[in-house]
Amino acid sequence: MPIRKNLWIFCLGIMLLSACQGYEKLLKSSDVNLKLQKANEYYDKKWYQHANQLYEALIPVMKNTRNYQPLYYKYSYTFYYMKDYLSASYHFKNYTEFFPNSKEAEECEFMYGLSLFKYSPKYSLDPTNTIKAQEALQSFINTHPNSKYNKEAQGYVDESTNKLEMKAADAAQLYYNIGQYKAASVAYRSVLRNYPGSGVLDKYQYMEVRSLYYFAKGSIPEKQEERYANMINAYHELVDQYPKSPYLRDAEKYYTQADSHIKKIRNEHK
């Protein structure tokens, strides 16, 4: 049994070595038609790395031929399937510019945005690529209102928006946690303004109330009345806009304390 197993491994090794040598020979071949045939075969077999290298070798000699457009289309997809999303986005974008009237142009424009979305990192990291993906996909939706890809594109836009919202909310929470209450109140107000479709707007409004309360409490005496008044205004916004919010009961405690502080300050100045 061990002898048979070793023989099988030896034979497999010989086959792989032969295949590799054959592929290297193909890469160096000047037979353009054979290269294209094999590249397409590799693509159909989902051997995208091999297909990619052959397509890349063919691009300079295939320009201005009838084979260039389908070649470049598959070449772009090889990057996507290899999860090289940055390169994929670049080549899908190129495809839409090289062949704007092709039947695949709309698809490749969508794939450009999708590749950017796939390349964007988790929400806690730099949001630059998330913003680029969101803008590209929203632009696609706007310019192709009847596209079959719109529902999927909208889903990715919403996911991008959620990631950006979480990033902004985390930044506001960090300001609050380190005692930078003025910055926290400004940050929470910004989240409220920039993400009106959020499902937790009442939480952000509540956190603005808390931030403004502690900002007023830590202020110099001359500024406290005005700043407590700002907090009370934020509290009334919470009550008016989210009358069923679970945060109202706790927010009312801050309101009561702020109102008490204002009355005390006014009595001291009589």
Q: Which domain holds residue 186?
A: 179-270
Q: Is residue 249 part of a domain?
A: yes
Asked if 119 contacts 80 with a C-beta cutoff of 8 angstroms, the reply is no
Count of the separate structural domains present in the chain = 1
Q: Is residue 256 part of a domain?
A: yes
Q: Is residue 59 part of a domain?
A: no
Residue type, 45: K
Half-sphere exposure of residue 189, counting CA atoms within 13 Å on the CB side?
16
Question: Rounded distance, CA 153 to CA 54, Å?
Answer: 31
Q: Is residue 230 part of a domain?
A: yes
Q: Which pLDDT does position 189 carry in this prediction?
A: 97
Burial classification of residue 251, based on how many CB atoms lie within 10 Å of its CB (0-12 exposed, 13-18 middle, 19 or more buried): buried
Burial classification of residue 201, based on how many CB atoms lie within 10 Å of its CB (0-12 exposed, 13-18 middle, 19 or more buried): middle
**What is the token pair recorded at 73?**
């289309």
Q: Is residue 254 part of a domain?
A: yes
Q: Is residue 114 part of a domain?
A: no
Contacts for 109 with CB less than 8 Å, ≥ 6 apart: 92, 96, 140, 144
Given a cut of 80, is residue 2 above it in pLDDT? no
From residue 224, give the alpha-carbon distance in Å to each of 95, 189, 212. 61, 20, 11
pLDDT band (50, 70, 90) for residue 14: very low
pTM over 0.75: yes
Q: Is residue 26 part of a domain?
A: no
CA dihedral 52→58→63→69, nearest 10 degrees, is -40
Given a cut of 80, is residue 13 above it in pLDDT? no
H/E element, 194: helix 181-194
CATH code of the domain containing 222 = 1.25.40.10
Given a cut of 50, is residue 12 above it in pLDDT? no
pLDDT band (50, 70, 90) for residue 20: low
Given a cut of 80, is residue 6 above it in pLDDT? no
Q: What is the pLDDT of residues 250-266, one digit of tens each?
A: 999 999 999 999 998 88
Among 225, 222, 208, residue whose Cα is nearest residue 259:
225
Q: Is residue 102 part of a domain?
A: no
Q: What does the mean pLDDT of the chain come to?
A: 90
Q: What is the pLDDT of residues 101-131, one digit of tens each?
A: 999 999 999 999 999 999 998 877 888 999 9
Q: DSSP string spanning 84-136?
A: -HHHHHHHHHHHHHH-TTSTTHHHHHHHHHHHHHHHS--TTS--HHHHHHHHH
Q: Which pLDDT does position 3 carry in this prediction?
A: 54
Hey, how many other C-beta atoms are within 10 angstroms of the C-beta on 133?
Answer: 26
Asked if 208 contacts 188 with a C-beta cutoff of 8 angstroms, the reply is yes
